[in-house]
Amino acid sequence: MAENFNFTFILPKLYKCDAKKVTLKNKVIFINDLSMFTETAEDITISGVTVKNPDDSIVPFEKIFEVFINAKKFRFYSKSALPNFTSRTFNELLKIPHFSKLQFMNLENIPESFDIETFYVYMKENKTTKFYLLFDKSISAPYKIRLETINDEIRSTKVLNYKTPVIDYDGLENEKKLQLFVQYYLS
């Protein structure tokens, strides 16, 4: 059993994998190819990967997450705004049974289409998942203001009944970011 192995260069040659930790980097992968990891992968990192349907269309983020039924930790990185995020992405994640069991999720370059209001409601009830969300530099000033308002509420709450997220974006003051990180690591 492979403990930690970068599979992307041999992916086309595999048909089954029982790794608990899977890292996929800088590759175009078809959704069907992910099936070899879905039964055992618990710690998943996807970085610079484009996941496509058989018709070459890009797979929505929630469909990628959905196949990893045993996910405990899930990281998804992109060099630019995530093209597979829509205003429905977070609502669709909430419908996936194993999403509520997730321990950690890190997303980078989240576009403004991400439904921050639905996330915010969920976050305040969340007792399981630590979220680290880094928004794309292209988000608008009003969206940044909303993120700052959410961060200010998190920072000013004395006793949190939920896992503290880090909601990071270009322009977040370093002092506020540091306070969020402290709360994040203590929760």
Q: Residue 32: its pLDDT value, please?
A: 86
Instruction: Region of 6 please: left (phi>0), alpha (psi -120 to 50) or beta.
Output: beta
Nearest Cα to Cα of residue 114 among 95, 91, 86, 72: 86
3-state secondary structure 113-171: CCCHHHHHHHHCCCCCCEEEEEECCCCCHHHHHHHHHHHHHHHHCCCCCCCCCEEECCC
Instruction: Write down the pTM of the prediction.
Output: 0.86
What's the pLDDT at 184? 87
pLDDT score recorded for residue 17: 59
Boundaries of every domain in the chain: 4-186
The DSSP element (H or E) to which 51 belongs, if any, is strand 50-52
Per residue of the chain (187 residues), what is the pLDDT tens digit?
444 444 444 444 444 556 789 888 888 888 888 877 777 889 999 999 889 999 999 999 999 999 999 999 999 998 877 778 889 999 999 999 999 999 999 999 999 999 999 999 999 998 999 999 999 999 999 999 999 999 999 988 888 888 889 999 999 999 999 988 888 888 7
pLDDT at residue 81, rounded to an integer? 74
CB 4 within 8 A of CB 17: no
According to DSSP, residue 13 is labeled G
